[in-house]
Amino acid sequence: MKEGLLHIENLGKTYVPGKPVFADVSFSLERGEFVCIIGHSGCGKTTILNILAGLDTASTGYVFMDNREVSGPSLERGVVFQSHALMPWLTVRQNIAFAVVSCWPEWSRATVSVHVEKFVAMVGLSAAIDKKPSQLSGGMKQRVGIARAFAIQPKMLLLDEPFGALDALTRGTIQDELMGIVRQTQQTVFMITHDVDEAILLADRILLMSNGRETDTGYKPGGISEVVVNPLPRQRNRAGLHHLDGYYELRNHVMDFLVTRALAH
């Protein structure tokens, strides 16, 4: 038996024969761990997330969760995309309740209501619980998406740049809220981001991913070039991040990778 929650072994994805987008990608996630993957567009980050979610299939390799191979979507894996994907005709309460009932169809209406209200409060939206998405700001819609994902209590949460379309102030606020909820629930999270500071703020480990490229010896697929362990204290927030010892060294290391090593030269 393997330890940890999620194991990815020799994962690869090919669209053009002989030129895999990425190959030989292997890593694991421990229970309660927050892992970010960062890299340039086209390196295959979203493809990896979709494979972990069961929304896409790998060309090579395997994904195991709790020692069972991932072979399709499951409520054990909650997904939050950059687009909130809310049903516009339903209220906040109804959007989240729909997911909760899908997970626990035997629950009474009262039990579902209490459960929904708990997670709406967790993201600070109790006052908007009976509003529809058209009445909410972009940041509020993303909060609903996060509340819905947490409400089904998945074994793992998959986040695909969920704050990418938000303004900087809203983004920072929700990042801090997400970190607080993750710490409270001990949720396991795998997240894609382009934002170096976001990765440093949230992640226990950062996977640095390179793009596929032509070399003097032929085509080299993309893949995980380096795994960086975040040395900063786990109790951190956006406002105080740049005051922490080791922050600039970590940031410069990740930036150097993105500028000099992630893309073909």
pLDDT digit string, tens, across residues 7-28: 999 999 999 888 999 999 999 9
Q: What is the pTM of this model?
A: 0.90
pLDDT value, residue 197: 92
Residue 74, C-beta contacts closer than 8 angstroms, at least 6 positions apart:
54
Cα–Cα distance measured from residue 51 to residue 64, given in angstroms and rounded to the nearest whole number: 11
Measured in residues, the chain has a length of: 265
pLDDT, averaged across the chain: 90
pLDDT value, residue 3: 58
* Helices within the chain (DSSP H only): 45-53, 92-103, 109-122, 138-151, 168-185, 196-202, 247-256
Residue 234, C-beta contacts closer than 8 angstroms, at least 6 positions apart:
183, 204
Backbone angles phi, psi at 260, to 5 degrees: -110, -20
pLDDT: which is higher, 215 or 46:
46
Asked if 130 and 144 count as a contact pair (C-beta separation under 8 A), the reply is no
Poorest-confidence range of 90-104, 135-149, 163-177? 163-177
Decide if pLDDT at 265 tops 60. Answer: no
Q: Which CATH class is domain 6-76+154-261?
A: alpha beta
Cα–Cα distance measured from residue 197 to residue 235, given in angstroms and rounded to the nearest whole number: 15
3-state secondary structure of 219: strand
Asked if 176 and 237 count as a contact pair (C-beta separation under 8 A), the reply is yes
Cα–Cα distance measured from residue 80 to residue 90, given in angstroms and rounded to the nearest whole number: 18
Measured in whole angstroms, how far is the alpha carbon of residue 201 from the centre of its chain? 14
Residue 62, C-beta contacts closer than 8 angstroms, at least 6 positions apart:
8, 9, 10, 11, 69
pLDDT value, residue 264: 52
- Average pLDDT on 111-115 reads 96
Assign 248 a pLDDT band (cuts: 50, 70, 90): very high
Poorest-confidence range of 95-99, 128-132, 148-152, 214-218? 214-218
Decide if pLDDT at 174 tops 50. Answer: yes
